[in-house]
Amino acid sequence: MVEAVEAFTIVLAVATLYGWRPAALGAAAGFGLLAGSILLLGPMLALVPIAGLQLTIGILLLLFGMGWLRKASLRAAGPIPLHDENAVFATETDRIGAAARRDRRLSWIAGLAALKAIVLEGLEVVFIVLAISAGRGLLLPAGIGAAAACVLVLTVGAMLRRPLSRVPENALKFGVGVMLSAFGTFWIGEALGIAWPGADLVLFPLAALFLIAGLIAAALARRAAVEGAA
């Protein structure tokens, strides 16, 4: 959902300058590319031996989840500015508007900008869908869940016709970072043959550990930043 909000902001900038047709066409093409990559890669992952798959996906999930958690903690603490959809919209409108002033007919470039936004923001969604569903036969429900979130965001956004700046992006990213980090740690442990106490249920204490670590990190980073500035 977070990525859909960010992609929508750019699609909206395109639609504002060039109309909804190129924006919608570019966005639809982007969705097609992402869906195609999921449909192509999902079944291929099922052919990989489960231990190797768990280790690889686990490491990637941990790196990705910790990256989100780190950034969300720093945004909550202050050193990194919060993602401001209104500011992104203004910047993108200026950037695309400069091209529009040069040539009003370049609507295909506008469509390409929408496609690029969807593909770049959607890469993370594709990774999460593939990683969560890999080796467990969950590709369809994971894909439907992601698609539903995207459709919801785009529908609400198209109705409002303004950036979805009220969505608490940082809190969402923080939560997703916690979950992905816990999943990644669990899967790495499974691949290494660690007998987690409580089996799958250990995901809850693992998530709690990452949540607490993120909150402590944000509080201490804020204090460190204030002391550094003093």
Contact between 226 and another protein per CB under 8 A: yes
Q: Which one among 18, 31, 89, 174 touches another protein, defined by CB under 8 A?
A: 174
Residues 6+ apart with CB under 8 A from 125: 3, 4, 34, 146, 150
Q: Which one among 140, 144, 192, 199 touches another protein, defined by CB under 8 A?
A: 192
Residue 51 Cβ vs another protein, minimum distance, rounded to whole Å: 12
Residues 66-95 that bind another protein (CB under 8 A): 66-67, 69-86
Q: Which one among 29, 46, 59, 138 touches another protein, defined by CB under 8 A?
A: 59
Interface mask toward another protein for 144-173; x: CB under 8 A? ---------------------xxxxxxx--
Contact between 50 and another protein per CB under 8 A: no
Contact between 183 and another protein per CB under 8 A: no
Q: Which one among 25, 97, 106, 196 touches another protein, defined by CB under 8 A?
A: 196
Contact between 116 and another protein per CB under 8 A: yes
